[in-house]
Amino acid sequence: MVVRRLTRSVRAGPVVIGGSAPVSIQSMTSTYTYDIDATVAQINQLARAGADIVRVAVPERRDTEALRHILPQVAVPIVADVHFHFERAMEAVEAGVHKIRLNPGNIQDRQEVDRVIRACRERRIPIRVGVNEGGIVERRDKQQRAAEKAELRRDYHGRLIDIMVRKLEEYLLIFDENDFDDVVISAKSIDPTIVIDAYSEISRRFDYPLHLGVTHAGPKETGCIRSVVALGTLLANGIGDTVRISYASDPVLEVEDAKEMLCCLGLRARNEPELIACPTCGRIEIDLIRLVREVRGRLAGIRVPVKVAVMGCVVNGPGEAEGADVAVFAGRGKGIIYVQGEQTRTVSEAEMLEALYEESLKFAQRVERGEASLTRGGVTIAPPDPLPRADGSVPLPVVA
């Protein structure tokens, strides 16, 4: 069981970040915010996928003007992503945005930063302030830049974290001087080991809620591994209050993977089927990969966390599927379906997908009616009768 690190809490609209609140999932739109219809559609799509908070870019005035039309049409808190122009932050606040992403280091005039903080303080709007590996080194002060570059050449990993902490301390001092503590902090890198060590260090130093992320992680295929290694490690150690997995891809994929990560760690309740499948091997006598893909698609409409197992043989399948509510074990051209450890049907390969879906749906409906309970790992599955032949195949009769 994960023991969460206790932090302060802030509220972005109805969503609490930090304290004892559940870890929230964030994503960011890939639309131009001024395209109101496209942005609203994507925000709502992300919300349906499981996002609790959605961030939008507001580089231009027409983007902040669009917020007044976007906010009434969406059901999740919206974060305005502000970098260089304090006017965009002020406009977003006036529009009623729920949170601001601000980088004080990119706004040269301290008075402008103070104005943004005061406006957010008056409306109880939290601000996320972060440091990223790509922009952490000083750019304006040439002497300071040279010194920081020299630090990094001596020990890139360790000195980068030192610089990150130092920058955060500078930013947090600005908020402290403005009597503002509705702050969320982040420290992102592309390197998972730096992400782990940076967040571990700032979690020891500060009690602000932490926004976890791996910056410019790349496409889903590799970014998934890079992100889950870092964020999963931190979350398993109780560090992190809100997360964004970021891909150079459809942002819905970010939400789906973040949700699965939190479910696997027991940090989020699953509200849809959990699909498990055996690894492919030389004993498989059906197209298991295709079947798993099709089963996943068919189960998408069920809103009960039924555990469904798809096994490509009956040799190791019963043991590997123990704990599943519904399972199928496939032999050559045929499959046996179990529901909570009891054989219910033997079907041909052609009927397997639909039969497994029907049994899963019926079981989910029984759970919803209170006629059955999810097993939570308590199912024992006896091997099919008859047992497999010496070559691994099974003489399964097909039940009409």
| Alpha carbon distance, N-terminus to C-terminus of the chain | 45
Nearest to 372 by CA among 359, 363, 383: 363
For the record, the structure tokens of 379 come out as 């199912």
Are 260 and 353 in a shared domain? no
Gap between the Cα atoms of 45 and 208, Å rounded: 30
Residue 225 to residues 9, 33, 134, 234, 323, Cα–Cα distance (Å): 29, 29, 20, 14, 27
Can you give the pLDDT at residue 385? 57
Are 26 and 153 in a shared domain? yes
* DSSP of 117-163: HHHHHHHT--EEEEEEGGG-S-SS-HHHHHHHHHHHHH-HHHHHHHH
Provide the CATH number for the domain around residue 330: 3.30.413.10
Are 91 and 25 in a shared domain? yes
For the record, the structure tokens of 84 come out as 């260089």
Can you give the pLDDT at residue 398? 45
| Distance of alpha carbon 144 from the chain centroid | 37
Are 280 and 253 in a shared domain? no
Contact 221, 248 (CB under 8 A): no
Crossing angle for the helix pair 251-264 and 220-236, nearest 10 degrees?
30
Are 248 and 318 in a shared domain? no
Can you give the pLDDT at residue 60? 95
Under DSSP, is residue 220 helix (H, G, I), strand (E, B) or coil?
A: helix
Q: Which strands form 342-348's sheet, in the order they lie side by side?
A: 274-277, 307-311, 326-330, 334-339, 342-348
Q: Answer yes or no: is 336 within a domain.
A: yes
Nearest to 15 by CA among 108, 109, 149, 125: 125
Q: Answer yes or no: is 390 within a domain.
A: no
Contact 263, 235 (CB under 8 A): no
Are 312 and 202 in a shared domain? no
Domain of residue 304, residue span: 274-369
Nearest to 339 by CA among 353, 331, 329, 350: 329
Q: Answer yes or no: is 36 within a domain.
A: yes
Are 167 and 214 in a shared domain? yes
For the record, the structure tokens of 282 come out as 């030389």
Q: Answer yes or no: is 4 within a domain.
A: no
DSSP 74: -
Can you give the pLDDT at residue 100? 96
Residue 110 to residues 89, 105, 137, 172, 333, Cα–Cα distance (Å): 14, 9, 19, 13, 71
Are 238 and 307 in a shared domain? no
How many CB atoms lie under 10 A from the CB of residue 157? Answer: 14
User: Of 238, 264, 290, at which residue does a domain stop?
Assistant: 264
Q: How many domains does the chain have?
A: 2
User: Of 231, 264, 297, at which residue does a domain stop?
Assistant: 264
Q: Answer yes or no: is 397 within a domain.
A: no
Q: Answer yes or no: is 61 within a domain.
A: yes
For the record, the structure tokens of 223 come out as 């970014």
DSSP-assigned beta bridge partners for residue 186:
130
Q: Answer yes or no: is 69 within a domain.
A: yes
Nearest to 185 by CA among 7, 50, 394: 7
Q: Is the pTM of this model over 0.85?
A: yes
* Phi, psi (degrees; rounded to nearest 5) at 390: -60, -30
Helix or strand (DSSP H, E) at 346: strand 342-348
Are 222 and 260 in a shared domain? yes
Are 114 and 70 in a shared domain? yes
Can you give the pLDDT at residue 31? 97
Are 245 and 278 in a shared domain? no
Can you give the pLDDT at residue 79? 98
Per-residue tens of pLDDT for the chain, all 400 residues: 889 999 999 999 999 999 999 999 999 999 999 999 999 999 999 999 999 999 999 999 999 999 999 999 999 999 999 977 889 999 999 999 999 998 766 667 888 889 999 999 999 999 999 998 877 777 777 888 888 888 888 998 999 999 999 999 999 999 999 999 999 999 999 999 999 999 999 999 999 999 999 988 889 999 999 999 999 999 999 999 999 999 999 999 999 999 999 999 999 999 999 998 888 777 787 888 899 999 999 999 899 999 999 988 766 666 777 788 999 988 778 888 989 988 888 999 899 999 999 999 999 999 999 999 997 666 666 665 554 444 555 555 444 3
Are 38 and 168 in a shared domain? yes
Gap between the Cα atoms of 125 and 121, Å rounded: 6
Q: Answer yes or no: is 150 within a domain.
A: yes
Contact 363, 349 (CB under 8 A): no
